[in-house]
């Protein structure tokens, strides 16, 4: 069995089944007068068929020569970065762009890139402040003020 | 005469001070993102998109286009000096460019890449000027069934040309079409798959998806692999190629321009395909094929010319048919639509100043790049010395600002992160993101035309086969599909035979 294709096929099959369920809740119409549900239903069925074909080929794959994937060198870094980005998403509006971007950068530079404290704090402060000034003040693209809204 | 008048109109627009300034900023920023591995034109255009909202549509597109072809120029610098392509289209430049740098010939390598890019880029623009309006005029006469057939062909070609097995690419394309149906149905106004979210009512935007799947996912990938790079420490002197270098490169540049132009019109990663094809052609035609891979200057000149010609040609299907050939074109299409402009057959008659202004600005931009690239190489090298560990948090910050500023909506950040994670996992599972994103953009147009065709034909599917042009597209799509399926089956058959 080929693991990568099995996981991929299964994920897309689930997406297709969700698509089928949701499309059936919409009016379908007819071939003469297609309504909003028809096109997504057809796509979901097509996707389900193709994902099943991928699953079948993954299961019937008989070559044992699949290498244990040598790519997992630093997956921890990816998950921590993602968590930090989600933290930024949650914090940005209540705490404001300036503070949340500063915290995000310090975390990424110090914890993920292992830079020293002075560089991490310095680069983060300069980058957060300058992007805020350029985007919010100069280019008039409003960024959330949060705690600094005074 | 008509064309001459139009070119004059275009120069009138492109030479306005504000447009010269945005063109300069675009190519400068484009070169920078081309130089920096990990920040490609997709992320750069997404970041600058919100800034262009305050500009006129002409200035906006001039700047965004500048980023695109500027990145193609910049990509060669990293390939030659660091052996890391800044851009997928510059991968093949590493082979001989880096070898030239190691032999102390980084200067001529960078020089010929810049000159070749300039010559082929200009040739590509001339081709664009001649072909796009012709195609646009022909396309005015095609109706919804032809459009449906054309999009089927475009999507089939994308899946055929993408990385990996065709079944996986097809799955990505169909998933893209499906995700593209999220939001308000344009014909009936019914909400589809919004699950109560106000943000989803407008559909899934192309910018958060592109940034997620191609910007954030790329960074995740690099973090996992822990990329490090070493700049080849050499004094760069004599950027001007010698007469002998020119003699070896001129043919390669001309052939690269031709190959690049025709590849560029095709949907998919055309600039990359153009560069690889050009390299293969040069190696075959060379009297010293053994020198390729060891610092042959034609191996730099050909591919660099080809990818620049391709980037000009990629504008043809977008502007004349409303079909983006690659991710960057899809983003430009999004930018045009934000400004209330629908690219397609009527584009030339409705917005002549925009078309000719943008095209002539590309001439000017190419000239700027030539002037900019050669003296500024020292600066780009010092930019390259910034370690990736410091660079990636800043790139992520730019992605966050770009996506948020689009609609001042934090939910778009969440969507970007979801697609960033999905893109990272899909890369691990060997699924290519390109067909997904192009299908996402084409989905709503495809559905609209499909439904209109069925209403016109009273539900009779033969409407796609009885109209000659539509039949041609469908047959072509069928042939492409059959070719890829049969090659896949042959491969499987050989494996089974080997087992027995």
| pLDDT tens sequence across B8-25 | 888 998 899 999 999 999
Q: Is B95 exposed, middle or buried (0-12, 13-18, 19+ CB in 10 A)?
A: buried
Hey, is the C-beta of B405 within 8 angstroms of any chain A C-beta? yes
Name the closest residue on chain B to residue A125, using Cα atoms. B394
Among residues B481, B496, B450, the alpha carbon closest in space to that of B154 is found at B481
Write down the residue that tokens 């630093």 correspond to.
Answer: A74
B-proximal residues of A, 29-48, CB under 8 Å: 30-37, 39-40, 43-44, 46-47
Beta bridge partners of B192: B183
Residue B27 or residue A3, greater confidence? B27
- The pLDDT of residue B382 is 78
Q: Look at A115 and B170 and tell me if their CB atoms are within 8 Å.
A: no
Residue-wise pLDDT tens for chain A (150 aa)?
688 889 999 999 999 999 999 999 999 888 888 889 999 999 999 999 999 999 998 888 766 555 555 555 678 899 999 999 999 999 999 999 999 999 999 999 999 988 899 999 999 999 999 999 988 888 778 888 877 665
pLDDT per residue as tens digits for the range B435-479: 898 888 888 888 988 999 999 888 888 888 988 888 998 999 899
Tokens 């004059």 belong to residue: B8
Q: Residue B233: which of B384, B75, B401 has the closest Cα?
A: B384
3-state secondary structure of B192: strand
Which of B46, B163, B181 is the best mutation test for A, with the most CBs of A within 10 A?
B181
Rg over alpha carbons for chain B, rounded to the nearest Å, is: 22
Per-residue pLDDT at B22: 93
For residue B421, what pLDDT is reported? 95
How many contacts does A have with B, using Cβ atoms within 8 A?
Answer: 173
B175 contacts A47? CB cut-off 8 A: yes
Tell me how far apart the alpha carbons of residues B48 and B32 are, in angstroms, rounded to a whole number. Answer: 14
Could you tell me the sign of the dihedral formed by the alpha carbons of B331, B332, B335, B337, in that order?
Answer: negative
Write down how long chain B is: 500
- Mean pLDDT is lowest, of B54-68, B133-147, B245-259, for B133-147
Task: Give the CB-side neighbour count of residue B9, counting CA atoms within 13 A.
Answer: 15
ipTM: 0.91
Q: Phi, psi (5° rounding) for residue B353? A: -65, -35
Q: Give pLDDT tens digits for B30-39.
A: 888 888 766 7
Can you tell me the distance from the alpha carbon of B330 to that of B333, in angstroms, rounded to the nearest whole number? 5
The answer to whether A12 faces chain B, any CB pair under 8 Å, is yes
Would you call B174 and A54 a contact, using CB atoms and an 8 Å cutoff? Answer: no
Place of tokens 């600005």: B361
Q: Does B54 touch chain A (CB under 8 A)?
A: yes
Q: Of A81, A145, A58, nearest to B217 (Cα)?
A: A81
- For residues A114 and A135, give the distance between their C-alpha atoms in angstroms, rounded to a whole number: 28
Q: Do A43 and B177 touch (CB under 8 A)?
A: yes
Average pLDDT of the segment spanning B309-327: 86
CB contact under 8 A, A105 and B389: no
Within 13 A of B465's CA, how many CA atoms are on the CB side? Answer: 5
DSSP assignment, residue B182? Answer: -
Question: Which structural domain range is residue B230 located in?
Answer: 2-499
Number of folded domains that form chain B: 1
The Cα–Cα gap between B82 and B229 comes to: 7
A120 touches chain B (CB under 8 A): no
The full DSSP string for B85-104 is -SSGGGHHHHHHHHHHHHTT
């Amino acid at each position: 069995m080929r693991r990568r294709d099995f996981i991929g096929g299964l994920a897309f099959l689930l997406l297709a089944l969700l698509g089928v369920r949701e499309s059936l809740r919409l009016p379908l119409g007819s071939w003469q007068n297609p309504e909003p549900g028809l096109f997504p239903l057809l796509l979901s069925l097509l996707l389900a068929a193709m994902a099943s074909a991928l699953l079948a080929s993954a299961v019937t794959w008989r070559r044992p020569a699949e290498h244990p994937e040598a790519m997992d060198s630093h997956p921890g870094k990816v998950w921590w970065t993602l968590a930090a980005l989600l933290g930024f998403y949650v914090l940005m509006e209540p705490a404001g762009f300036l503070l949340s971007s500063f915290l995000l950068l310090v975390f990424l530079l110090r914890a993920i890139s292992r830079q020293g404290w002075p560089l991490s704090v310095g680069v983060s402060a300069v980058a957060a402040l300058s992007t805020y000034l350029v985007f919010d003040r100069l280019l008039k693209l409003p960024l959330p003020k949060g705690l600094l809204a005074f | 005469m008509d064309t001459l008048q139009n070119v004059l109109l275009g120069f009138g627009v492109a030479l306005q001070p504000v447009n010269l300034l945005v063109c300069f900023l675009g190519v400068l920023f484009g070169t920078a993102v081309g130089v920096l591995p990990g920040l490609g034109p997709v992320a750069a255009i997404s970041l600058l998109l919100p800034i262009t909202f305050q500009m006129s549509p002409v200035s906006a597109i001039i700047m965004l286009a500048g980023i695109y072809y500027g990145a193609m120029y910049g990509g060669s610098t990293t390939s030659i000096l660091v052996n890391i392509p800044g851009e997928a289209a510059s991968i093949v430049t590493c082979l001989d460019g880096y070898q030239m740098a190691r032999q102390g010939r980084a200067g001529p390598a960078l020089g010929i890449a810049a000159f070749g890019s300039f010559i082929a880029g200009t040739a590509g623009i001339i081709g664009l000027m001649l072909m796009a309006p012709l195609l646009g005029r022909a396309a005015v006469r095609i109706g919804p069934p032809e459009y449906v057939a054309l999009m089927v062909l475009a999507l089939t070609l994308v899946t055929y040309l993408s990385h990996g097995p065709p079944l996986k690419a097809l799955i990505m394309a169909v998933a893209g079409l499906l995700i593209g149906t999220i939001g308000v149905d344009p014909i009936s106004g019914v909400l589809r798959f919004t699950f109560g979210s106000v943000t989803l009512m407008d559909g899934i935007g192309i910018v958060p998806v592109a940034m997620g799947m191609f910007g954030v996912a790329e960074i995740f990938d690099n973090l996992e692999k822990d990329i490090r790079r070493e700049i080849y420490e050499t004094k760069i002197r004599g950027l001007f190629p010698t007469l002998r270098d020119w003699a070896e490169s001129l043919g390669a540049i001309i052939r690269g321009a031709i190959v690049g132009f025709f590849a560029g019109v095709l949907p998919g990663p055309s600039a990359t395909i153009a560069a690889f094809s050009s390299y293969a052609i040069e190696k075959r035609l060379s009297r010293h094929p053994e020198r390729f891979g060891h610092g042959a200057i034609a191996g730099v000149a050909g591919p660099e010319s080809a990818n620049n010609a391709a980037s000009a040609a990629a504008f043809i299907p977008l502007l004349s048919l409303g079909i983006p050939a690659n991710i960057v074109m899809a983003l430009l299409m999004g930018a045009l639509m934000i400004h209330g402009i629908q690219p397609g057959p009527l584009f030339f008659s409705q917005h002549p100043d925009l078309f000719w202004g943008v095209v002539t600005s590309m001439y000017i931009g190419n000239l700027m790049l030539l002037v900019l690239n050669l003296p500024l190489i020292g600066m780009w090298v010092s930019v390259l010395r910034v370690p990736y560990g410091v660079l990636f948090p800043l790139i992520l910050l730019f992605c966050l600002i770009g996506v948020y500023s689009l609609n001042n909506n934090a939910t778009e950040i969440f969507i970007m992160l979801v697609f960033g994670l999905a893109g990272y996992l899909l890369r691990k599972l060997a699924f290519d993101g390109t067909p997904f994103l192009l299908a996402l953009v084409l989905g709503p147009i495809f559905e609209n035309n499909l439904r209109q065709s069925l209403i016109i034909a009273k539900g009779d599917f033969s409407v796609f086969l009885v109209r000659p042009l539509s039949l041609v597209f469908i047959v072509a799509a069928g042939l492409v599909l059959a070719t890829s399926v049969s090659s896949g089956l042959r491969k499987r058959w050989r494996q089974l035979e080997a087992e027995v």
